Amino acid sequence: MSYFSFTYSLAGTTQKSEGLYVNQSTEPPGARAGGNRVDRGAVVRSDRSKMATVEPETTPTTNPPPAEEEKTESSQEVANPEHYIKHPLQNSLYNHIQLSSNLMPGCDYSLFKDGIEPMWEDEKNKRGGRWLITLNKQQRRSDLDRFWLETLLCLIGESFDDYSDDVCGAVVNVRAKGDKIAIWTTECENRDAVTHIGRVYKERLGLPPKIVIGYQSHADTATKSGSTTKNRFVV
């Protein structure tokens, strides 16, 4: 169970949506009050300046049914599997923002654990690195959105087993020459964690064995002398 902060960046400006919280909830949609909306396993703190408002449901006035019948219907409503099997991101923050493939070049999306900023200098990031996926311009329409959604699911679903705590967040960079998606981890020297995360991530993206992805430390990226950074690990 983790809290995440979603950030949108463009040319030095940043908009942040706090409190994307993902947990399989046994409550039906709309069961909580106080500014939070429950969307079948995802809770997103409402931002009325950015999010569309939802019209309150109205119930037609009818004669009250017998008490026994009312109790039966109520039980059936709570047990409705529709409340449990929907995709965790369905109807949540993800569906209220632009797809990555529709962003202007120079824009970034990032999803990081609450309290971690999407920058190398953050205490949780400065000794870490990233698994990097590089996409050409033709892949923006075919792969970018699918890869980014799968990346988000890996994070919120804690898909990396015992090493999920080593994951800090993920970033997608939309650029004119080609796009990048990366998962950031907290410690580049932790070989077991880094390689396990890389193998799981590659499998979840459905990449064929002949495709190799690399892991780069943030320190190496910050001090690189050319246009490329050496890989610490590859899978």
CATH of the domain at 166: 3.30.760.10
Alpha helices in 28-128 (DSSP H): 67-78, 82-85
Mean pLDDT score, 38-46: 32
Classify residue 39: in a domain, yes or no.
Answer: yes
Task: Examine the domain organization and report whether 16 and 70 are in the same domain.
Answer: yes
Q: Is the pLDDT of residue 16 over 90?
A: no
Supply angle C-alpha 231, 147, 40, rounded to 5.
130
Single-letter residue type at 47: D
Task: Examine the domain organization and report whether 141 and 82 are in the same domain.
Answer: no
Beta carbons of 166 and 187 less than 8 angstroms apart: yes
Determine the Cα–Cα distance for residues 91 and 71; give it in Å rounded to an integer.
29
The whole-model pTM stands at 0.67
Classify residue 193: in a domain, yes or no.
Answer: yes
Task: Examine the domain organization and report whether 198 and 158 are in the same domain.
Answer: yes
Task: Examine the domain organization and report whether 131 and 210 are in the same domain.
Answer: yes
Task: Examine the domain organization and report whether 113 and 89 are in the same domain.
Answer: no
Q: Structural domain of residue 191, as residue ranges? A: 106-234
Task: Examine the domain organization and report whether 79 and 114 are in the same domain.
Answer: no
Beta carbons of 167 and 197 less than 8 angstroms apart: yes
User: Residue holding tokens 């995360």?
Assistant: 197
Q: Is the pLDDT of residue 61 over 60?
A: no
Q: Coil, strand, or helix at residue 225?
A: coil
Task: Examine the domain organization and report whether 116 and 229 are in the same domain.
Answer: yes
Classify residue 209: in a domain, yes or no.
Answer: yes
Classify residue 100: in a domain, yes or no.
Answer: no
Number of structural domains (the chain) is 2
- Following CA atoms 147, 149, 151, 155 in sequence, which dihedral angle do they give, to the nearest 10 degrees? -170
Task: Examine the domain organization and report whether 215 and 124 are in the same domain.
Answer: yes
Neighbours of 84 (CB within 10 A): 13
Task: Examine the domain organization and report whether 83 and 115 are in the same domain.
Answer: no
Averaged confidence pLDDT in the chain: 75
Classify residue 36: in a domain, yes or no.
Answer: yes
Q: What pLDDT shows up at residue 105?
A: 94
Task: Examine the domain organization and report whether 156 and 213 are in the same domain.
Answer: yes
Identify the residue with better confidence: 94 or 174.
Answer: 174
Classify residue 151: in a domain, yes or no.
Answer: yes
Task: Examine the domain organization and report whether 88 and 111 are in the same domain.
Answer: no
Tell me the CB-side half-sphere exposure of residue 230, using CA atoms within 13 A: 6
18-32, 121-135, 197-211, 215-229: which has the minimum mean pLDDT?
18-32
Written as six digits, the tokens of 9 are: 């960046």
Classify residue 101: in a domain, yes or no.
Answer: no
User: Residue holding tokens 């000794």?
Assistant: 127
Classify residue 21: in a domain, yes or no.
Answer: yes
3-7, 144-148, 167-171: which has the minimum mean pLDDT?
3-7
Neighbours of 168 (CB within 10 A): 21
Mean pLDDT score, 104-116: 95
Q: What pLDDT shows up at residue 21?
A: 36
Rg (CA), the chain: 21
Beta carbons of 232 and 188 less than 8 angstroms apart: yes
Q: Is the pLDDT of residue 26 over 50?
A: no
Identify the residue with better confidence: 25 or 131.
Answer: 131
